[in-house]
Structure 1
Amino acid sequence: MKLYDTVFYFISGHGKGWAFSSTDLIKKFDRQQIDNVLSDLVKAKKIRRVSRGIYDYPKYSDFLKKELNPDIEQVSRAYARKFNWRIEVSGDSALNILNLSTQIQAKYIYLSDGPNKSYKLFNDVVIEFKKSVLKDIGFKYKESSLIVQALKSLGKEHITNEIINKIKDQIDSKMYEKILNDTQTTTVWVYEIIKQICKDSNNE
């Protein structure tokens, strides 16, 4: 198999929407070769250059007949891996990513143990990393972090069945058990709501 095909096979194996940098590939491929192959894959429209040094394997909407915007969570985590930062999504950005906010956001804020940095994507969306003390960094899954930050941002008194169902609709049921195990150490009231979100209706 040619290097071009091998690299694309590796990228596509992560699934549609995956964002990455050459850092994610250097353990398997030579750096100089990677840069050339990535450039060729962009030209062939197999992958997309999201920002300088960051790419994604874009999702396509048959309904809209176009490629969807980059997955902000995926792009942010690609930056974190590239620079070896630990990151945590801010509450307001978590609300937006989970479609719990009515505001269209052009800037997404992540807390980070790295320096203050911001990056503009090709669609003019900005991802800003703010150096901060990270409180909820121990989660293994991005879904866990998103849910916890969104619930904390809303506050216990503002959690309704509608919000629980909105979050539930966006979480793959295969993730329920993983999220429940992942978030056991979070605030008690938050975990009680997560248990409602991750309740499998098929087993009720």
Structure 2
Amino acid sequence: MKSGAVAKYIDSIDDGTVFAICDIPNDSSSDSLKTQLSVACKRGRIVRIMRGIYYKPKYNKLLETMIPYNPDDVAYAIARNNGWHIIPGGNSCLNLTGLSTQVPSRFIYYSDGPYKTYNIGDTNIELRHRGSKDMPDSDGLAILIHALKTKGNGNLTQDDIRTLSEYVRSHGVAMDPAEYSRTAPWIKKELQRIADVQPL
């Protein structure tokens, strides 16, 4: 990596961006990257959140203070840095799919990586391992599956099915049976019900 490449990367991203070392185009040693990142931290251009994860500060000019980084962005940066696939946890899946209006207060994610908990200041980020059969590559489909699991077998109303069908259409979720062939039979049945709903 040419000298100053980290500075150029920082220039290319928006204020308020959380990024991982793996996000930086790199053709040199990790020691070179770490040195450049350390210099950028000392100059106040970025803030080190934890090992391998950084934040380009965004300031509230009126209050003259730095806006806190988004823990959700940190979770996804951690996942990218480790090559893990993550999605929001069960209650968040209910919210994202429209089955609940309640916004979860805890930062819980499902991951195809190991169980991990990260304590960052006053924030806890928890990654819970889930098997590959319930973690298809499609985030939309994975969120749908875990919304069903959180709702529970036998607890879905016809209105719920219509709500989930609207989520599928609005988010362009491909309902490919091959992608969920190994999940529980009752989930496959509900996914088929969702796929069969005709738009009004």
Q: TM-score, normalised by structure 1?
A: 0.60
Which structure 1 segments of 5+ residues have no match?
159-163, 165-176, 196-204
- 1:170 corresponds in structure 2 to none
Residue pairs, 1:23-172, within 5 angstroms: 23-25=22-24, 27-93=26-92, 95=95, 101=102, 104-105=105-106, 108-121=107-120, 123-133=121-131, 135=134, 137-139=136-138
Q: Is the 8 A contact 1:19 1:78 kept in 2?
A: yes
Equivalent residue, structure 1, for 2:175: 185
Q: Does the C-alpha gap of structure 1 residues 18 and 116 become closer, same or farther in structure 2, counting only changes over 3 Å? A: same
Q: Does residue 1:7 correspond to 2:6, yes or no?
A: yes
Letter in 2 for 1:185: M
Deviation at 1:132, TM superposition (A): 0.8
TM-score, scaled relative to structure 2: 0.61
Aligned residue pairs total 169
Does structure 1 retain, via aligned residues, the 8 Å contact 2:91–2:104? no
- CA apart distance, 1:64: 4.5
Give the superposition deviation at 1:82: 1.6
Deviation at 1:150, TM superposition (A): 9.7
User: Cα–Cα, structure 1 residues 61 and 146, in superposed 2: closer, same or farther, change >3 Å?
Assistant: farther
State the 1:185 CA deviation. Answer: 2.7
User: Is residue 86–residue 112 contact of structure 2 (8 Å, CA) maintained in 1?
Assistant: yes
8 Å CA contact 1:12, 1:57 repeated in 2: no
Q: How big is the shift at 1:111?
A: 0.8
Secondary structure of the residue aligned to 1:3 is coil
Shift of 1:8: 2.2
For residue 84 of structure 2, give the secondary structure of its aligned residue in structure 1.
coil
Structure 1 residue 119, shift from structure 2 partner = 1.0
- Alpha-carbon distance in 1 for matches of 2:145, 2:14: 25
Closer/same/farther in 2, CA of residues 61 and 92 from structure 1, 3 Å limit: farther
Shift in alpha-carbon separation, 1:46–1:88, aligned structure 2, 3 A: same
Identity %: 24
Secondary structure at 2:171 match in 1: helix
**Shift of residue 184 of structure 1?**
3.6
CA contact (8 A) 1:50 1:70 kept: no
- The CA distance in 2 between the partners of 1:82 and 1:18, in whole Å, is 15
Gaps of 5+ in 2: 161-165, 177-190
CA root-mean-square deviation: 4.1
Deviation of the 1:148 alpha carbon: 5.4
